[in-house]
Structure 1
Amino acid sequence: MSKPTLLLLPGLLCDATNWSAQCEALNGVADCIVPVYGELRSIEAMAEYVLELAPVGRFSLAGHSMGGRVALEVMRYAPERVERLALLDTGFQPLCPGESGTKELLARYELLELARAFGMRDMGKQWARGMVHPSRIGSAVFESILDMIARSTPDMFEGQIHALLSRPDATSLLPTIRCPTLLLCGREDLWSPLNRHEEMQRAIPGSTLEVIEMSGHMTTMEQPQAVSEALMRWLRYEATGAGSTPLDSN
């Protein structure tokens, strides 16, 4: 019997390294595919690309950070093809109006200017400090994140910034999700905080929330074993009642 397909969608300026530990840990139970967005400039275009890359039929889908927003758009376009859904350290709301949205826009473009002036890795040294648990700043994991950022280009960064600033609103989509859904968040995630995932859990019927301790935003790399174990439980879950039964977290 062939293994199910699991699409693992990386976040902003991330590549397969974002999911490398999970690909290795889950190799025995799923065929893992990690898409690369290239210079695509919208969440919608990324979702369309994922669906083109996916095999015919149903598949499981997990997205981290920006990848979670892409996963939600895949759910909007083709919910019948998604067997189960995992959303990690992500969000669902559009750019906030007014001062808050303007602040986000300016902050993102300041980082882009830094990347163009000094290079992607130097930009990452500033940006990534807020993406990990404080204890990991300067660690091997932190250096691996910087290496990953450095493999992207300012043009790719600009395209993904555009995608995030024009991100669609998935608020009305959440209550329509009926497949087994895992929500996962680092306890110290400052970019996509826990209360946002609690809000998603209340909106998605039957969803389960797992909190990863001693982790910031980059859970898949900061606490790879804990994340892989959570995904293993999610993959082994058999839906009863169209996903209305929570995942077993024991």
Structure 2
Amino acid sequence: MASARGIPVRDTILWVEDTAEADLPVIFCLHSLWLDGSMFDALVTAAAGRFRVVRPDFRGQGSSAPHTGDVVDMDCCADDMNALIDMLGLRAVHLAAASMGGDVAVRMIARRPDLFASLAMLGSSVRDEPPDQLAHFTTFLEGARRTGFIGESLEVLMSIMFGATTRGRAEAQPMLTPWRNKLELTPASRWPALMGVLNRSSAVSLLPDIRLPTLVISGAEDIARPPDWGREVADGIPGGEQIVLEGVGHTPILEAPDTVIPLALRFFADATAR
């Protein structure tokens, strides 16, 4: 029976939504920074009857418990997620990883390759932030921490999360407005997660050891994780494949769901059949 609940995992409580079909292959969703598991709502609908979909919120994000330290790093998140998978008794898991979810996913697979069947990365990569971009984002976040994400700061954040084409499309506004509202209300408790992503270490060295079918879907307008970063992942994982979508930014599953979700489900189905 489907559930939405807080689950004690290691030293925190993670919010987990689970369609809970015991007889279906599992898609385990790893959300983007600033967003939460609800970014996969349309995937849940499309996967009904074909896949069980498990959607945790990362430590200190979404509806999971706040983090009491200064930083939540990618290794901590990976350990949380692998512990949750073990607690739920999941195996042959397909990972759907958006943005920071990819940084976490590669670490999860490197630690416990026995748990996973495939990896789809959506607007994601695994390198650390280049020094110039790190300095720029640090200055931006320091300003936003004082003022909140309002006015120009909110518009900059929206331009990071969603491509220019999407933001200019009238038909995309019903999707964008709720996320804009969430971004504007970013709580102070989110800062450890923000710092963890901004100051993340590279996981490029782990790529050659990832022996899973891997699909990387990149947006041509993604300024946070540009397509070249996605190509690095696809080239670094044996047999990895990249698809670049024109007119799409950092969040392909929300900006182009009619393209991305069928591609991902077909990829997961093919991986299940192997």
CA apart distance, 1:73:
1.5
Residue equivalent to 1:60: 94
Identify unmatched segments of 5+ residues in structure 2. 1-21, 61-66
User: Which structure dedicates a bigger proportion of its chain to strand?
Assistant: 2
Question: TM-score, normalized by length of structure 2?
Answer: 0.78
Task: Select the residue among 32, 44, 60 that pairs with 2:53.
Answer: 32
Find the aligned partners of 2:217 and 2:98 in 1 and give their Cα distance.
Answer: 9
| Letter in structure 1 aligned against 2:224 | W
Task: Select the residue among 137, 156, 159 that pairs with 1:129.
Answer: 159
Q: What are the residue-to-residue correspondences of 1:164-183 with 2, within 5 Å?
A: 164-183=197-216
How many aligned positions are there?
Answer: 236
Percent identity over the alignment is 23
Kindly provide the CA deviation profile for residues 169-209 of structure 1, in whole angstroms up to 9, marking residues without a partner as x.
21110111111111111121121111111122111110111
Task: Provide closer, same or farther for how the CA distance between residues 96 and 133 of structure 1 changes in structure 2, counting only shifts above 3 A.
Answer: closer
CA apart distance, 1:113:
2.8
Identify unmatched segments of 5+ residues in structure 1. 244-250
Task: Provide closer, same or farther for how the CA distance between residues 12 and 100 of structure 1 changes in structure 2, counting only shifts above 3 A.
Answer: closer
Task: Provide closer, same or farther for how the CA distance between residues 106 and 94 of structure 1 changes in structure 2, counting only shifts above 3 A.
Answer: same
1:196 to 2:229 alignment: yes
Q: Quick check: 203-212 or 132-141, which moved more?
A: 132-141
Kindly provide the CA deviation profile for residues 119-149 of structure 1, in whole angstroms up to 9, marking residues without a partner as x.
6x98534311333232333722221221333
Task: Select the residue among 120, 129, 138 that pairs with 1:86.
Answer: 120
Question: TM-score, normalized by length of structure 1?
Answer: 0.84
Find the aligned partners of 1:130 and 1:165 in 2 and give their Cα distance.
Answer: 13
| Letter in structure 2 aligned against 1:44 | D
| Letter in structure 1 aligned against 2:126 | F
Residue equivalent to 1:248: none
1:143 to 2:177 alignment: yes
Task: Provide closer, same or farther for how the CA distance between residues 96 and 125 of structure 1 changes in structure 2, counting only shifts above 3 A.
Answer: closer
SS of the residue corresponding to residue 108 of structure 1 reads: helix
SS of the residue corresponding to residue 137 of structure 1 reads: helix
